[in-house]
Chain A
Amino acid sequence: MKATTSSATDIRPRSTVDRYLARQRRQRWLIAVTTVATLTTLLIDIATGPGPYPLSAVLHALVLPGEVPRILQVVVWDVRLPVALMAIVVGASLAIAGAEMQTLLNNPLADPFTLGISSAASFGAALAIVLGLGIVPLAGTLLVTGNAFALAMLASLMIWGLSRLRGVSIQTMVLMGIAIMFFFNALLGVLQYVASAQSLQQLVFWSLGSLSKASWTKVGLAMLALLVTLPVFARSHWRLTALRLGDVQAKAMGIDVGRLRLRMLLCCALLSATAVAFVGTIGFVGLVGPHIARLLVGEDQRVFLPMSALTGALILSLTSILSKTLVPGILLPVGILTALIGLPFFVSLILRSRRELWG
């Protein structure tokens, strides 16, 4: 560290740089701890479930699949692992989407659900499930995903298009997102009303949010969405952090705020659309994950982004374990659990007040 010319630094035992480096170490340490915690819950998630398999046997099957009985191999590799990984990938996706939407819209309540992007995706999925209608020419399960994605993009574009109008505040955009949510929920209601008993059941099950339909293909695709968007967010980390200084200051720093919002909202749409399309409606992860991350490491995107992803993954992985163990013998839909656990947790987060963070 270079010595500064100011005499004030001679009196102080540690320069501001040293103190900042200490904060950075603390942030990295927290990320490391959360990573270990997430990996641990992942293992526990894989080890829990019906069947008389102790942790050691499951670990054995994970490390050396060739040496364990065929049935255990199938349970671990084809049933539990995709579900457990899906929880991680979807939890991370939802939390990242929530974190960035909160950043982009400067609003603590923004996430894929409150802004109607998930409702739009649900409506798209319902079009496929109930009417067999495809917005994009795809077949099979991809039809549901394709529709969900197309509608999620549409909703994001509606929010973004509004932001381009002169004099429209980002608060208005958030209110518009809420209107979009009600709009697509109403359309979804219409489809539910006309749906056959069978597709209605499928739709209800889908919209409760469940990890149990996970497969390697779906995990792979959800992972792909993460791998495509993460570098985009990561490359813009300074600009995203600067957005939280407010639009005028961000513009003064040379940031094309409108273009940044468009690009990043598209990434959020991709993330939330794939997440919702594969696992249905899982609320609160996208809200709570980023809030915990913000409390722990602050909003420097270099640490806020990975920390949000980790807390989201950790929360959904824990929920996945709970869904299997809470009522013995019954697998609860995770979407119900995240709502039940997330709601009081979220309220307490709000009350414990980082109100000062959102002017």
Chain B
Amino acid sequence: MTLTIDRLDCRLGNRRILHGLSGLRARAGEITALIGPNGAGKSTLLKAVAGIEKASGDIVLENRAIGTLSIEQRAGRLYYLPQEIGSRAALNVFEAVLLARRTQVAESPAEAMDAVDQALCSLELDSLAERELAVLSGGQRQRVAIAQAIVRQPRLLMLDEPTSALDLHHQLQVLDYLQRLARRKQLVVVIAIHDLNLAARFADHIWILQSGEHIASGAPGEVLTTERLRQVYAITAHVEWPVDEPPRVTPLAAIRQLGSNNGIA
């Protein structure tokens, strides 16, 4: 186990958002998908781990407790890719990715530029290198943000809905790349994601969050069941695991919500 989270509590304003999350485990070299309905606390959990939101609890990354480290110290080992990417800076794509690198790695400018070039190429962004951030399309901006994340070479990479704006080609391309990166560099990769087909296909492990509680985790085949989807998302769905094809989660219908068990309030 290389990332373990226990007794994680987080309050925002005067609301308790994370209710003592325990037993969250993620392995190096694997993709861990973080799923759950809107408002379940996925972004809050990732921000708490990154030190962006104040939280109490035990967070251990590669045998080191990081829960008490400052964001500067945490940023040396982990990176959080925000859900909302709204930068309007007068920077071009290359400069923005170079910036992400230079706030992290101490090295010569030439080495930094080579690393940026590689990150851009691996996300098929090299032809956009000179484009201004402000004029990028939503999906292009998201891919630039992913390039900024990987160029920093964190040990723990937390991506908050990194494919929400991507076309089908780039959804597969990005997740496939992240999967290979995780395996090759033995990174811990946690991805908050709403697309359960992608989660089932690329994740080795899944965490399910609901109303600020950790309600299940395990291999996709164990946790993605029709019954669980009904309970967590209030939907009816087909879940299929064909032999030679990627798994399929087909949502059929939204059913009436049962009480207040969806979301926090």
A residues near B, CB below 8 A? 1-2, 4-6, 8-9, 12, 15-17, 19-21, 23, 166-167, 238-239, 241-242, 244-246, 248-249, 251-256, 294, 298-300, 354, 356-359
Asked if A19 meets B103 with Cβ closer than 8 Å, knowing A254-B72, A256-B71, the reply is no
* B91 A298 Cβ-Cβ under 8 A: yes
Q: Is the CB of A253 within 8 A of B100?
A: yes
Query: Which residues of chain B from 150 to 198 have a CB within 8 Å of any chain A CB?
Result: 152
Are A254 and B76 CB-contacts (below 8 A) given A20-B113, A246-B87? yes
Whether the Cβ atoms of A298 and B92 lie closer than 8 Å is: yes
CB distance from A166 to the nearest CB of B (A): 8
- Residue-wise interface mask of B (71-87) relative to A, using a CB-CB cutoff of 8 A (1 in contact, 0 not): 11111100111101111
Interchain CB contact (< 8 A) of B90 among A1, A8, A298, A359: A298
Contact B52 A248 (CB under 8 A): yes
Contacts of A21 on B, CB cut-off 8 Å?
113
Is residue B117 contacting chain A, with contact meaning CB distance below 8 A? yes
User: Who on chain B is nearest to A20 by CB?
Assistant: B94
Distance A300 CA – B95 CA, assembled complex (angstroms): 7
B85 nearest in chain A by CB position: A249
Q: Are B82 and A4 neighbours in the complex by a CB distance under 8 Å? A: no
Tell me the bound Cα distance from A184 to B199 in angstroms. Answer: 57
Contact B94 A19 (CB under 8 A): yes
Residue numbers in B under 8 Å from A5 (CB-CB): 118
Query: By the criterion CB–CB under 8 Å, are B89 and A253 in contact?
Result: no
Q: Does B10 contact A (CB under 8 A)?
A: no
Residue pair B71, A255 in contact (C-beta under 8 Å): yes
Is B6 positioned at the interface, with any CB of A under 8 Å from its CB?
Answer: no
B130 close to A (CB within 8 Å)? yes
Other A-B pairs, 10, CB within 8 Å; known A16-B94, A249-B85, A298-B95: A4-B121, A16-B120, A17-B113, A245-B96, A251-B50, A252-B50, A252-B82, A253-B75, A253-B152, A255-B103
Q: Tell whether, in the assembled complex, residue B13 and residue A167 are in contact, meaning their CB atoms are under 8 Å apart.
A: yes
Decide: A359 and B86 in contact? CB cutoff 8 A.
Answer: yes
Given A246-B86, A253-B104, A359-B86, CB of A300 within 8 Å of CB of B79: no
Instruction: Report the Cα distance A254→B70, complex, angstroms.
Output: 8
Residues on B with beta carbons closer than 8 Å to the beta carbon of A356: 88, 134-135
Closest residue of chain B to A359, judged by CB? Answer: B88
Contacts of A8 in B (CB 8 A): 121, 124, 126
Contact across chains for B118 and A294 when beta carbons are under 8 A apart: no
Contacts of B13 in A (CB 8 A): 166-167
Contact B121 A20 (CB under 8 A): no
The residue of chain A having its C-beta at the shortest distance from the C-beta of B93 within the complex is: A16
Q: How far is the CB of B34 from chain A (nearest CB, A)?
A: 16
| A358 B88 Cβ-Cβ under 8 A | yes
Given A16-B94, A252-B81, A253-B103; A244-B130 close (CB under 8 Å): no
Contact residues of B between 119 and 159, Cβ < 8 Å to A: 120-122, 124, 126-127, 129-130, 132, 134-135, 145, 148, 152
| Structural contact, B103 and A17, CB atoms closer than 8 A | no
**Does A19 lie within 8 Å of B130, measured CB to CB?**
yes
List 9 tightest A-B contacts by C-beta distance, closest first.
A254-B75, A244-B89, A6-B121, A16-B129, A356-B134, A299-B90, A252-B80, A248-B82, A298-B90
B249 CB, nearest partner CB in chain A, Å: 30
* Alpha-carbon gap, A16 to B121, bound state (A): 9
- Minimum Cβ distance to chain B for residue A63 (Å): 39
Is B264 positioned at the interface, with any CB of A under 8 Å from its CB?
no
Q: Does B76 lie within 8 Å of A16, measured CB to CB? A: no
* 10 A-B interface contacts by CB (under 8 A): A4-B114, A8-B126, A244-B89, A245-B96, A252-B80, A254-B103, A255-B75, A255-B103, A299-B91, A357-B90
**Whole-angstrom CA separation of A174 from B155 in the bound complex:** 38
Q: A9 — nearest CB in chain B belongs to which residue?
A: B121
CA distance A210 to B79 in the complex (A): 50
Q: Is the CB of A354 within 8 A of B90?
A: yes
Q: Is the CB of A254 within 8 A of B120?
A: no
CB pair B91–A244 under 8 Å, yes or no, is: yes
CB <8 Å contact, B91 and A15: no
Q: Are B99 and A2 in contact (CB under 8 A)?
A: no
Q: Considering the chains assembled together, what is the distance between the CA atoms of A245 and B74 in angstroms? A: 19
Q: Does B102 contact A (CB under 8 A)?
A: yes
Collect the chain B residues with CB atoms within 8 Å of residue A238's CB: 99, 102-103
CB of B116 closer than 8 Å to a CB of A = yes
- Residues of the A chain whose Cβ atoms lie less than 8 Å from the Cβ of B110: 1
CA distance A2 to B121 in the complex (A): 13
Q: How far is the CA of A299 from the CA of B132 in the complex (A)?
A: 11
Q: Which residues of A contact B76 (CB under 8 A)?
A: 254
**Which of B71, B79, B117, B135 is within 8 Å of A16, CB to CB?**
B117
Partner of A254, one of B96, B104, B145: B104
Distance (whole angstroms) from the CB of A292 to the closest CB of chain B = 12
* Chain A residues, CB < 8 A from B132: 298
Residues from chain A with Cβ under 8 Å of B135 in the complex: 356
Q: Which residues of B contact A357 (CB under 8 A)?
A: 88-90, 134
A112–B103 Cα gap in the complex (Å)?
28
B89: which A residues are within 8 A, CB to CB? 241, 244-245, 299, 357
Which residues on the A side are within 8 Å of B95 (C-beta)? 20, 298, 300
| CA–CA, A8 and B52, complex, Å | 37
Q: How long is the Cα–Cα vector from A254 to B104 in the complex, in angstroms? A: 8
CA distance A134 to B100 in the complex (A): 47
The CA of A242 and the CA of B71, in the complex, are separated in Å by 15
A2 CA / B113 CA spacing, docked (Å): 10
Q: Are A15 and B117 in contact (CB under 8 A)?
A: yes
A254 touching B71 in the complex, CB below 8 Å, given contacts A6-B122, A356-B88: yes
